[in-house]
Amino acid sequence: MADYDVIVAGGGLAGTVTAQAVAHCSNQNTKILVVDRNAKSLPGRKSLAGWVCGDACSKEAVDFMTSRIKVKWGRPEIEHDVKGVMAFSPDRETSIPFDGDGYMLNRQKLPEIQNKRCEEMGVEFDYEINLTGLIYEGHQAVGVQGIDNKNKQPFKKTARIVIDATGVTSMLRNTLKNSTKIERRIDRRDLESTGRYIMYFDSAKNDPAEFDPDYCIIHLDQDIAPGGYGWVFPKAGNKVNIGLGVEKSLLERRNQRLGKKDNVESLMREYLQRNTVIKNTRLSEDPEDIGNNTGIFQVSVRRQNDCMVSGGYVLVGDSAWMPKPIDAGGIGPALIAGTILGNNVAQALEANDVSEAGLWQYNLDFIEEYGYKTAGLELFRRLVQQMTNDQISYGMKHFLGNMDVEAISKGEHPDFSGLGKLGMIIRGAMNKTVADGLRYTSRENRWLVDHYNKYPGDPSGFDEWSKTLHRRMDGAFEKVDAFGR
Ligand SMILES: Cc1cc2nc3c(=O)[nH]c(=O)nc-3n(C[C@H](O)[C@H](O)[C@H](O)COP(=O)(O)OP(=O)(O)OC[C@H]3O[C@@H](n4cnc5c(N)ncnc54)[C@H](O)[C@@H]3O)c2cc1C
C-alpha cells in the first residue's frame, strides 16, 4: 500500500491550491502530503532569490477558485486592490486596458496562510526535501525521491498520484521516464528572464502613464525590455512592484543594435531611474518583504505542455508552463488548473484508475476552461516580439478596434476584423507588414482554437493530434520570424 494517496511535489502557489482542491473534492480519508525543499519558515519561496513575481492577479481567477473549492483570499495576503492592467505603446500615445479588477498579493504572506489552511484540511507537509525524480513501477509513477536535507538521508515516499508543482525548472518533468507525450524541455525563446524590486518611493509628480495607484501599468518597449515589457504595479499609494522581463536572444539583438552591453539587472536599474514619478526609492523593509525586495527569476511564455498527465503523474502551474504567453501571468492559470485538478484527482482515486487514461480528463478540462487559447497567444507573442517600437505604436493606435481590445481584455487573441475594412489606409511598407502579420496570426489562431477543441478524448488519439499541432506551429513560427527580417 502507498504511503499517501496524493503527494504534491512543490508547496508553492500551484501546489498548495491543488492540495486544498484535492482535500475539498475527495473524501475525508484521502491522505495528502506536500513536499518542498524550503524550510518551514520560508514557505512557497521560488528560489534563493525569493518569491520573485509581479504579484498581480485577476479577481476573476480568484473568484473561480473561491466559488468552486470555497477557499477565500483576503487581507493580508491581498495587499492592494486594482481596477485592471493598462498596457502602454512605446510612444505612450495608446493604452489598452485588460484583465479587469484584480489584486496585488503579498507572495510571502500568502503561502503562510495557504499552508495553515491546508493543515486545517488535514494536508501534511514535509520540508527541506530536495526532490530529484519519481519512483516507477513499470510504466506507472508510484512516488518521489530525493534528499532530506534535515538529516542528509535519501528521501523516498510512495503515492497513488504525484502532482508536480515544482515550478518552471521541474526536475521531475526534466527526468520523466514514463511518457512520450509530455514534453520535457522548453525552447530558450519561450523563456523570459525577469526581475523586479519592491520599494517605497516619493511621488515627484502625477502621471498615470508612469504610476497609477489604481492600475497595473505595462510599458511595451523594445529598447527598455526587448521581447518582454516593463511593469509598474502599485502596492499602495507610495509602494510599488517595479520590474521587467526580456527574451535573451532579443536582448542580444537589441544590445548589438544600440551598441550596449546591458543585462536584466542594468535594464531594471535604468527602467527605475527613467520613471518620472517614482523618486527617492527605498527597498521595502516591511517584515513581509524582507528577503524578497529584489530578485531575478525565469518565467515561461508558451502554451501549456501538450500533455499534462502520465501514469500516476500530473503537472500543474509553472512546471506545466501555464503562464499566459502574452503577459507571463501564471497565478490565474495556476488557480484555475489547481481547482480543476482537485476534481480530476478525486475522481481518478475514486474510480481506482490512476493510469494515464484515468487522469486524461484533466487535459480536456483545462483546455476547455483556459488552455484552448494559449497556442494562439504564443504565436501572437512571437509576432509582437519581432516588431519595432514604431510598428507596435502604429499597430496599437491604428489596428486595434473595440472588439480587439475587448478580446485582449478577456485574454483572447484579437481577430483584427477592422483590418479587412474597405477604406482603411495603411501608411508605409513596414506597417503593411504589421497588418499582414496580425491578419496571419488571427487566422492561425482560429485554426489553433479549433484544433484544441478537437483534443483527443483519450491517449490513443494524442500522437496524431500532437503531430498536426507541431507541424502547424513550426510553419507558423517560420512565417512569423520572417516578418521580423
Ligand atoms: C519576475 C516575475 C514576475 C511575475 N509576475 C507575475 C504577475 O504579476 N502575475 C502573475 O500572475 N504571474 C506572474 N509571474 C508568474 C508567477 O510568479 C508564477 O506563475 C507562479 O509563481 C507559479 O507558481 P508555481 O507554484 O507553479 O511555481 P513556484 O512559485 O515556482 O513554486 C514552486 C515550488 O516548488 C518548490 N520546488 C522546486 N523545485 C523543487 C525540488 N526539486 N524539490 C522540492 N521542492 C521544489 C519550490 O521551493 C517552490 O515552493 C511572474 C514570474 C516572475 C519570475
Give me 389's grid cell. Answer: 517600437
Sign of the alpha-carbon torsion through 351, 144, 125, 299:
negative
- CA of 16 from ligand 1 middle (Å) equals 12
Dist CA 296 CA 228 (whole Å)? 14
- What pLDDT score was predicted for residue 423? 60
Average pLDDT, the chain: 95
177 falls within a domain = yes
- Gap from CA of 260 to ligand 1 centroid (Å): 31
Per-residue confidence band for 343, with pLDDT thresholds at 50, 70 and 90: very high
- Same domain for 200 and 144, yes or no, is no
Q: Which of 369, 388, 405 is the last residue of a domain?
A: 369
Q: Report the nearest-CA residue for atom 4 of ligand 1.
A: 53
What share of the chain has pLDDT > 70, as a percent? Answer: 98
- Examine residue 70 and state whether it is found in any structural domain, yes or no: no
Ligand 1 centroid to Cα of residue 318, in Å, is 6
Q: What are phi and psi of 195, to 5 degrees?
A: -150, 160
Q: Is the pLDDT of residue 417 over 90?
A: no
Q: How far is the CA of 319 from the centre of ligand 1 (A)?
A: 9
In a domain, 359, yes or no: yes
Per-residue pLDDT of 55-81, as tens digits, reads: 999 999 999 999 999 999 999 999 999
Residue 91 lies in a domain: no
**Cis, peptide link before residue 208, omega less than 30° from 0:** no
369, 387, 422 - which closes a domain: 369
The SS3 of residue 401 is: coil
Domain containing 402 equals 373-483
Question: Which residues contact residue 107 at a Cβ distance below 8 angstroms, ignoring those fewer than 6 apart?
Answer: 13, 44, 51, 53, 55, 292
Q: Specify whether 439 is located in the same domain as 336.
A: no
Q: Same domain for 182 and 319?
A: yes
> In this structure, which residue's CA is closest to atom 37 in ligand 1?
166
Q: Whose CA is nearest to atom 22 of ligand 1?
A: 318
Q: Which amino acid is at 382?
A: R
- Calculate mean pLDDT across residues 23-44: 96
Residue 12 Cα, ligand 1 centroid: separation in angstroms? 6
Model confidence over 237-267: pLDDT tens digits? 999 999 999 999 999 999 999 999 999 999 9
Ligand 1: atom nearest CA of 316 is 26
Given the CA of residue 295, which atom of ligand 1 is nearest to it? 1
The alpha carbon of 444 and the centre of ligand 1 are apart by a number of angstroms equal to 30
Say what the pLDDT of residue 258 is. 97
Instruction: Indicate the top mutation candidate among 42, 106, 166 to test ligand 1's pocket, ranked by most ligand atoms within 8 A of CB.
Output: 166
Atom 27 (ligand 1) nearest CA: 167
- Looking at the fold, whether 181 and 47 belong to one and the same domain comes out as yes
Ligand 1 atom 39 nearest Cα: 166
Residues with CB under 6 A from ligand 1: 10-15, 36-38, 44-46, 52-57, 129-131, 165-167, 171, 194-196, 243, 297, 299, 317-318, 323, 328-332, 334
Angle formed by the axes of helices 374-386 and 462-483, nearest 10°? 20
Does any domain span residue 313? yes
Ligand 1 atom nearest residue 319's Cα: 26
Cα of 9 vs centre of ligand 1, distance in Å, is: 13
- 15 Cα: distance to centroid of ligand 1 (angstroms): 10
Distance 46 CA to ligand 1 centre (A): 5
- Residue 416: the pLDDT is 80
pLDDT in tens, 79-110: 999 999 999 999 999 999 888 999 999 999 99
| Mutation choice for ligand 1 from 104, 150, 172, 331, CB with most ligand atoms inside 8 A | 331
- Atom 41 of ligand 1: nearest residue by CA position: 131
Domain end, chosen from 369, 398, 424, is at 369
Identify the residue whose C-alpha is closest to ligand 1 atom 13: 329
Residue 234 maps to which CATH number? 3.30.9.10
Residue 182 and residue 149 share a domain = yes
pLDDT, one tens digit per residue, over 171-180 is: 999 999 999 9
Q: How many domains does the chain have?
A: 3
pLDDT band at 469, cuts 50/70/90? Answer: very high
Report yes or no on 402 lying in a domain.
yes
Distance 166 CA to ligand 1 centre (A): 8
174 and 148 inside one domain: yes
| 265 within a domain of the structure (yes/no) | yes
Longest dimension (CA), the chain: 73
Ligand 1 atom at shortest distance from the alpha carbon of 298:
53
CATH number at residue 165: 3.50.50.60
Kindly give the number of the ligand 1 atom that is closest to the alpha carbon of 233. Answer: 8
Residues 122 and 35 placed together within one structural domain of the fold:
yes
Region 285-295 average pLDDT: 94
In terms of domains, do 23 and 47 share one?
yes
Q: Are residues 319 and 182 in the same domain?
A: yes
Q: Which residues contact 16 (CB under 8 A, 6 or more apart)?
A: 8, 34, 44, 111, 114, 115, 118
Nearest ligand 1 atom, CA 299 = 53
- 158 and 217 part of one domain: no
Q: Closest Cα to atom 15, ligand 1: which residue? A: 330
Q: Whose CA is nearest to atom 19 of ligand 1?
A: 330
pLDDT of residue 475: 97
- SS3 at position 64: helix
Residue 408 confidence (pLDDT) above 90: no
Using the mean position of ligand 1's atoms as its centre, give its distance from the Cα of residue 106 in Å. 13
Q: Which residues contact 201 (CB under 8 A, 6 or more apart)?
A: 238, 239, 240, 277, 278, 279, 280, 281, 282
Per-residue pLDDT, averaged over 335-351, amounts to 98
pLDDT at 422 over 60: no
* 434 shares its domain with 312: no
Q: What is the pLDDT of residue 485?
A: 66
Please tell me whether residues 474 and 389 are part of one structural domain: yes
225-228, long-range: CB < 8 A, 24+ apart? 225/267, 225/271, 226/250, 226/251, 226/253, 226/254, 227/192, 227/251, 227/385, 228/192, 228/194, 228/328
Cell numbers of 300, please?
515561461
pLDDT of amino acid 421: 65
Residue 342's pLDDT band (cuts 50, 70, 90): very high
Whether residue 339 lies inside any domain: the answer is: yes
pLDDT per residue over 368-397, tens digit each? 999 999 999 999 999 999 999 999 999 999
Average pLDDT over residues 9-34: 96
**Could you tell me how far CA 77 lies from the centroid of its own chain?**
19
Residue for cell digits 518583504? 289
